[in-house]
Amino acid sequence: MVRVRYAPSPTGMPHVGNIRTALFNWVFARHHGGQFIVRIEDTDRNRYVEGSEQAILNSLRWLRLDWDEGPEVGGPHAPYYQSQRLEIYHRIAHQLVDDGKAYKCFCSAEEVEQMRAQQRAQGAAQTMYDRRCRKLTPAEVKARENDGLPYVIRFKMPLEGTVAYDDLIHGRTEFQNKLTDDFVMLKSDGFPTYHLANVVDDHLMAVTHVLRGDEWVSSMPRHLNLYRALGWEPPQFAHLPLLLGPDKQKLSKRHGTTEFTEFIRQGYLSEAMFNFLAICGWNPGDDREILSREEIIALFSIERISDNPFVFHHDKLLWMNGHYIRELPKERLIELCLPYLQEAGLIPPTLNADTRAYVERVVPLEQEKMKLLSDAPRLLDFFFRDDYPIDEAAVRKWYGEPHIPQMLEELIRRYEALEPFTTPEIERVTREVIAWLGVKGGEVIHPTRIALSGRATGPSLFEMIEALGKPRVLQRLRQAQRWVFRK
């Protein structure tokens, strides 16, 4: 039985790269009919950020990554919060001390920092805890304990030899033990460090595969030696390629949007994010890139995960989102756009039937142009308000033309009398005006669009006219009569 976990730390708003790791784990579990566990690694009380855990869980839910065990759902290995598992880590850490595989270290953080500073000053290739407390005699340890000195528990790294493992993505990787120092397993505040808690919980929770970011491979010597000291069989490891910014540095806030909740807020679709995240470092083996979640689950395999870092470019994500928006059924598009229109103040928080019908008519007119749901207000504002911006350059381009006064007059006269005021009828009379003026279609269509929307580009004119409705159309055409000037 495949069991994987996503182990976020509630130290801030979720990062895309982190959610991508969650997605890979989830997809891997679902592909194998295995289980997906969520475990909250809240062992750093200093960096804890209120609300971040909910933001993380909500992001998973938004992507429909359901978990079989974890917060809110519980499970056979509860609790799934490391802060509630402290006794376990204590027991194991002290067990290791008793077995002579770990030791209490009474050096203060300042002392250790000083040590490192000195090593740096001496030009050491690498700074390391000098293991001074490893040499303490039992009596010395006793004495310090009796003095009430705080201590941490450090792991006794083997001083020689190597440790190796077969990474599911990178292949065999080997490390020399002597290059890793005696890392802290249990902090002086009684909380475990990642290394201890992670290894212990992965074992206790029967995790079979660890899929995590590449930044963790450098911790493998610690983890592997810990497993060895504990006499546990380590799980399989797959280190995922890092997500980089356009400058090839590890993706971070300065590269633009990286907070996952921010993508949601901007109006990316769940399906689009799911699809895009899935191809951040993975491909199905053929040319397809647009894939449904079912296809991704069916096709997923670790062998097809790339081993080189992935430069995260927003433009491809944007393209993909536009693709998914275009495929959206109209009803769903409308539903999804409502909050954005409301937030922009274009429509009231609660809609009456008329407004609702108007929104339903108008939103689909710009569907193919939307790349983000948040584009909706910008694209549609002139349907809802009369003080929309006017493209002055476009006005200047057209409103000095000699046929414009007659055109407006004629359009107003015919539209006013037109019944029913529907797209085909509107097109028919408009074409009559075009013929009557003896000009090209565009010479009427473009200036009319400017009159009605203030812009040179927009939805198909005749549909737009019907949607706007007769009163608004007549009023805007009359207003445009004031724009006319002589060249």
Q: Does the protein bind RNA through residue 24 (CB under 7 A)?
A: no
Residue from the set 80, 194, 340, 415 that interacts with RNA by CB under 7 A: 194
Q: Exposed, middle or buried, 315 (CB in 10 Å: 0-12/13-18/19+)?
A: exposed
Residue from the set 248, 482, 486, 487 that interacts with RNA by CB under 7 A: 248
Residue from the set 230, 445, 467, 474 that interacts with RNA by CB under 7 A: 445
Active-site residue, selected from the candidate residues 253, 316, 330, 440: 253
Q: Determine whether 253 is an active site residue.
A: yes
Residue found by looking up tokens 């009605």 in the block:
452
Q: Which two tokens stand for residue 103?
A: 């030791």
Q: Residue 164 forms beta bridges with which residues? A: 174
Q: Which two tokens stand for residue 436?
A: 């009557």
Q: Does the protein bind RNA through residue 456 (CB under 7 A)?
A: yes
Query: HSE of 309 in the Cβ direction (CA atoms, 13 Å)?
Result: 17
- Which of the residues 336 through 375 are near RNA (CB under 7 A)? 368-369
Phi, psi for residue 411 in degrees, rounded to 5: -60, -45
Q: Does the protein bind RNA through residue 249 (CB under 7 A)?
A: yes
Q: Which two tokens stand for residue 3?
A: 């069991």
The SS3 call for residue 212 is strand
CA angle 473, 478, 484 (to 5 degrees): 125
**Among 6-14, 89-97, 259-267, 395-403, which window interacts with RNA (CB under 7 A)?**
6-14
Q: Does the protein bind RNA through residue 431 (CB under 7 A)?
A: no
- Which of the residues 461 through 480 are near RNA (CB under 7 A)? 461-463
**Among 61-69, 139-147, 191-199, 346-354, which window interacts with RNA (CB under 7 A)?**
191-199
Q: What is the DSSP string of 404-447?
A: HHHHHHHHHHHHHH-SS--HHHHHHHHHHHHHHHT--HHHHHHH
Residue from the set 72, 87, 233, 287 that interacts with RNA by CB under 7 A: 287
In the bound state with RNA, the residue whose beta carbon lies nearer, of 71 and 458, is 458
Q: What number of chain residues touch RNA (CB under 7 A)?
A: 89
Q: Does the protein bind RNA through residue 408 (CB under 7 A)?
A: no
Q: Helices 86-98 & 220-230, crossing angle to 10 degrees?
A: 70
**Among 83-91, 209-217, 384-392, 478-486, which window interacts with RNA (CB under 7 A)?**
209-217
Q: Does the protein bind RNA through residue 383 (CB under 7 A)?
A: no
The interface mask with RNA, positions 136-155, x = CB under 7 A, is: --------------x-x---
Q: Are strands 162-167 and 310-311 parallel, antiparallel or unpaired?
A: unpaired
The SS3 call for residue 50 is coil
Residues assigned a catalytic role = 253
